[in-house]
Structure 1
Amino acid sequence: MFRLFQKLHTPKPLTFQLLFPPSPKCCFLLFENSLQFHSNSSYHCDPLLSTLLLALKSSSSVTCCRVIHARVIKSLDYRDGFIGDQLVSSYLNMGSTPDAQKLFDEMPHKDSVSWNNLVSGFSKRGDLGNCLSVFSTLRSEMALELNELTLISVISACAFAKARDEGWYLHCCSVKLGMELEVKVVNALINMYGKFGCAGSAFKLFWAMPEQNMVSWNSMVAVWTQNGIHNEAVNYFIMMRVNGLFPDEATMLSLLQACENLPLGRLVEAIHCVIFTCGLNENITIATTLLNLYSKLGRLSASHKVFEEISKPDKVALTAMLAGYAMHGQGKEAIEFFERTVREGMEPDHVTFTHLLSACSHSGLVNEGKYYFQIMSDVYRVQPQLDHYSCMVDLLGRCGLLSDAHQLIKNMPLEPNSGVWGALLGACRVYRNIDLGKEAAENLIALNPSDPRNYIMLSNIYSAAGLWSDASKVRALMKTKVLTRNPGCSFIEHGNKIHRFVVDDYSHPDSDKIHKKLEDLMRKIQEVGFVSETESILHDVDEEVKTDMINKHSEKIALAYGLLVSSADMPLVIIKNLRICRDCHNTAKFVSMIEKRMIIIRDSKRFHHFGDGLCSCGRESGLYSSVVDALLDLLSQKDFKKLQERVKPQTRTRNKEQGTRKNYQIH
Structure 2
Amino acid sequence: MIRLRSCSSSLLNFPFHFRTHQIQSPQCIYKLFTQKAFHNAHSNPQTPLSALISAISSCPSVSYCRAIHACVIKSYSYSDGFIGDQLVSCYAKMGSAEDALNLFDEMPKRDLVSWNSLISGFSPRGYVEKCLNALFRMRFEVGIEPNEVTLISVVSACASRGAVDEGMHIHGLALKLGLLWEPKLVNSLINLYGKSGYLDAVCRLIETMPMQNVVSWNLMIAIHAQNGSAAEGLNCFNLMRRAGVYPADGTVVSLLQVCENLELGKLAEGVHGVIIKCGLSANVRVATGVLDLYAKLGRLDYSLEVFKELINPDKVAWTAMLAGYATHGYGQEAVEIFENMVRKGVQPDHVTFTHLLSACSHSGLVKEGRNYFNIMSEVYGVEPRLDHYSCMVDLLGRSGLLNDAYELIKQMPMEPNSGVWGAIFGACRMYGNIELGKEVAERLFALEPSDSRNYIMLSNMYSAAGLWRDASQVRAVMKEKGLARTPGCSFIEYRNEIHRFVVGDQSHPESVRIYAKLEEVIGKIRKAGFVSQTEFILHDVEEAVKEDMISEHSEKLAIAFGLLVINAGMPIIITKNLRICGDCHGAAKFISLIEKRTIIIRDSKRFHHFTNGVCTCGDYW
Q: What TM-score, normalized by structure 2, do the two folds share?
A: 0.90
- Kept in 2, the 8 Å contact 1:592–1:610? The answer is yes
User: Within 1, Cα distance between the matches of 2:613 and 2:293?
Assistant: 27
State the one-letter code of the partner of 1:458. Answer: L
Higher relative contact order (CA 8 A, sep 6+): 1
Query: How far apart are 1:530 and its partner, in Å?
Result: 0.8
Partners of 2:34 and 2:86 in 1: how far apart?
18
- Is the alpha carbon distance of 1:82 and 1:384 closer, same or farther for their aligned partners in structure 2, counting shifts above 3 Å? closer
1:575 is paired with a residue whose SS is: strand
| Equivalent residue number for residue 35 of structure 2 | 32
For residues 597-656 of structure 1, give each alpha carbon's deviation from its aligned partner in whole angstroms, at most 9, with x where no partner exists: 1111111111111111111112269xxxxxxxxxxxxxxxxxxxxxxxxxxxxxxxxxxx
Q: What is the rounded CA distance, in whole Å, between the counterparts of 1:244 and 1:438 in structure 2? A: 61
Change in 2 beyond 3 A, CA 1:104/1:408? closer
Which amino acid letter does the alignment assign opposite residue 250 of structure 1? G
Separation in 2 of the partners of 1:367 and 1:517? Answer: 44
Pairs within 5 Å for 1:352-501: 352-376=352-376, 379-380=379-380, 382-412=382-412, 414-501=414-501
* Counterpart residue number, 1:538: 538
CA distance in 2, matches of 1:176, 1:430: 64
- The amino acid across from 2:36 in the alignment is N
Identify if the C-alpha distance between structure 1 residues 614 and 210 changes in structure 2 by more than 3 Å, giving closer, same or farther.
same
Matched to 2:158, the amino acid is: C
**Which residue does the alignment assign to 1:280?**
280
Name the residue aligned to 1:12: none
Say whether 1:209 aligns with 2:212: no
Aligned residue type for 1:371: N
- The 1:73–1:405 alpha-carbon spacing in structure 2 relative to 1, beyond 3 Å, is closer
User: Is the CA contact (8 Å cut-off) linking 1:190 and 1:205 kept in structure 2?
Assistant: yes
Alpha-carbon shift at residue 572 of structure 1 (Å): 1.2
Gaps of 5+ in 1: 1-23, 622-667
**What is residue 73 of structure 1 aligned with on the other side?**
73
Distance 1:119 1:403, change over 3 A: closer
1:574 maps to amino acid: I
Measured against aligned partners, the alpha-carbon deviations of 1:213-272 in whole angstroms (never above 9, x if no partner) come to 222212211221121101111110111111111112322222222222111112112222
Deviation, 1:374, is 3.7
How far apart in 2 are the matches of 1:405 and 1:157?
43
CA distance in 1, matches of 2:375, 2:529: 43
CA contact (8 A) 2:490 2:577 kept: yes
**How is 1:214-229 mapped onto 2 (pairs within 5 angstroms)?**
214-229=214-229
CA contact (8 A) 2:32 2:68 kept: no
CA positional deviation for 1:404: 4.0
Q: Separation in 2 of the partners of 1:565 and 1:482?
A: 40
| 1:58–1:303 Cα change, 3 Å | farther
Name whichever of 309-318 and 565-574 sits farther off.
Answer: 309-318
Alignment map for 1:307-386 (pairs within 5 Å): 307-376=307-376, 379-380=379-380, 382-386=382-386
What fraction of aligned residue pairs are identical, expressed as a percent? 61
Residue 84 and residue 254 in structure 1: after superposition, are their counterparts in 2 closer, same or farther (change >3 A)? same
| Counterpart amino acid of residue 42 in structure 2 | S
CA–CA separation in structure 1 for the residues paired with 2:155 and 2:372: 48
Structure 1 distance, partners of 2:81, 2:297, is 54
SS in 2 for 1:618: coil
Measured on the aligned residues, the alpha-carbon RMSD in Å equals 2.3
**Residues 231-240 or 413-422, more deviating:** 413-422
Q: Which amino acid aligns with 1:434?
A: I
SS of 2:310's partner is coil
Aligned to 1:200: 200
SS at match of 1:490: strand
Question: 1:79 & 1:305 partners in 2: Cα distance?
Answer: 60
Give the counterpart letter for 1:62 in structure 2. V
Partners of 1:381 and 1:182 lie apart in 2 by 46
Does 2:99 match 1:114? no
Offset of residue 198 of structure 1 = 0.8
Kept in 2: contact 1:27–1:55 (CA 8 A): no
1:399 Cα offset (Å): 3.2
Q: 1:584 to 1:125 in 2, by over 3 A?
A: same
Q: CA contact under 8 A between 1:30 and 1:48: conserved in structure 2?
A: no
* Compared CA separation, residues 506 and 209, structure 1 to 2 (3 A): same
SS in 2 for 1:532: coil
1:584-595 map, 5 Å: 584-595=584-595
Asked if the contact 2:362/2:620 (under 8 Å) is kept, the reply is: no
After superposition, the Cα gap between the structure-2 partners of 1:25 and 1:565, relative to the gap in structure 1 and judged at 3 Å, is farther
> Is contact 1:27–1:51 with CA below 8 Å preserved after alignment?
no
* AA at the equivalent of 2:95: G
CA offsets 1:94-140 (integer angstroms, 9 cap, x no match): 22222221221122111112212222222222110011111222332
Aligned partners of 1:398 and 1:619 also within 8 Å: no
Is the 8 Å Cα contact of residues 362 and 618 (structure 1) preserved in structure 2?
A: no
Structure-2 change in CA distance of 1:144 and 1:366 (3 Å): closer
Deviation at 1:437, TM superposition (A): 2.1
Partner Cα separation in structure 2 for residue 198 and residue 36 of structure 1: 56
Map 1:633-648 to 2 at 5 A: none
Rate the CA distance shift 1:243–1:95 in 2: closer, same or farther, 3 A. Answer: same
Give the C-alpha shift of residue 78 in structure 1.
Answer: 5.1
* Residue pair 1:590, 1:613 contacting (<8 A) in 2 also: yes
**In 1, Cα distance between equivalents of 2:283 and 2:131:** 34
Partner Cα distance (2:425, 2:35) in 1: 64
Alignment of 1:289-308 (within 5 A): 289-308=289-308
Shift of the 376–131 alpha-carbon distance from structure 1 to 2, 3 Å rule, reads: closer
Evaluate the alpha carbon distance shift between residue 382 and residue 158 of structure 1 in structure 2; reply closer, same or farther with a 3 A threshold. closer
Once the two structures are superposed, what CA deviation does each residue of 1:396-419 show, in whole Å capped at 9, x if it has no partner? 332334344344445555543322
Letter in 2 for 1:66: R
Tell me the secondary structure at the aligned position of residue 600 of structure 1.
strand
Q: SS state of the match for residue 35, structure 2? A: helix
1:249-264 aligned within 5 A: 249-264=249-264
8 Å contact from structure 2 (residues 536, 583) kept in 1: yes
Give the equivalent residue in structure 2 for 1:557. 557
Deviations 1:349-391 (A, max 9, x none): 4433322221122112233333333444565565544333322
Deviations 1:301-331 (A, max 9, x none): 2222222233222222222221111111101
2:248 and 2:536 map into 1 onto residues whose CA distance is 49
1:277 CA displacement: 2.6
* Structure 2 runs not aligned, ≥5 long: 1-26
Counterparts of 1:147 and 1:383 in 2: how far apart (Å)? 45
Classify the secondary structure of the residue corresponding to 2:400: coil
Give the match for residue 517 of structure 1. 517
- The separation in 2 between residues aligned to 1:475 and 1:553, in whole angstroms, is 22
> Equivalent residue for 1:6?
none
- SS in structure 1 opposite 2:262? coil
Letter matched to residue 124 of structure 1: P
- Distance in 2 between residues matched to 1:185 and 1:58, nearest whole Å: 27
What CA deviation, in whole Å up to 9, does each residue of 1:432-476 have, x standing for no partner?
232232222222223222211110000001111111111010000
* Equivalent-residue separation in structure 1 for 2:312 and 2:386 (angstroms): 31
Q: Describe the superposition over 1:553-605 as per-residue Cα deviations: whole angstroms up to 9, x where unpaired.
A: 11111111111111111111111111111111111111111111111111111
Answer yes or no: is the 8 Å Cα contact 2:601–2:609 preserved in 1. yes
Judged with a 3 Å threshold, the aligned counterparts in structure 2 of structure 1 residues 175 and 84 are, in CA distance, closer, same or farther, namely same
| Shift of residue 288, structure 1, vs aligned partner | 2.2
Residue 229 of structure 1 aligns with an amino acid whose one-letter code is S
**C-alpha distance in structure 1 between counterparts of 2:98 and 2:404, whole Å:** 53
> Number of residue pairs matched?
595
Match of 1:260, SS state, is helix
Q: Which amino acid aligns with 1:32?
A: Q
In structure 2, the residue corresponding to 1:261 is in which secondary structure? helix
- The superposition leaves residues 266-299 of structure 1 with CA deviations (integer Å, 9 ceiling, x where unpaired) of 2112222222333333332222222222211112
Pair 1:209–1:381, CA change in 2 (3 A): closer
* Aligned positions of 1:569-608 closer than 5 A: 569-608=569-608
User: SS in structure 1 opposite 2:135?
Assistant: helix
1:380–1:109 distance in 2 versus 1, CA, 3 Å: closer
Change (3 A) 1:100 1:410: closer
- CA shift at 1:528, angstroms? 0.5
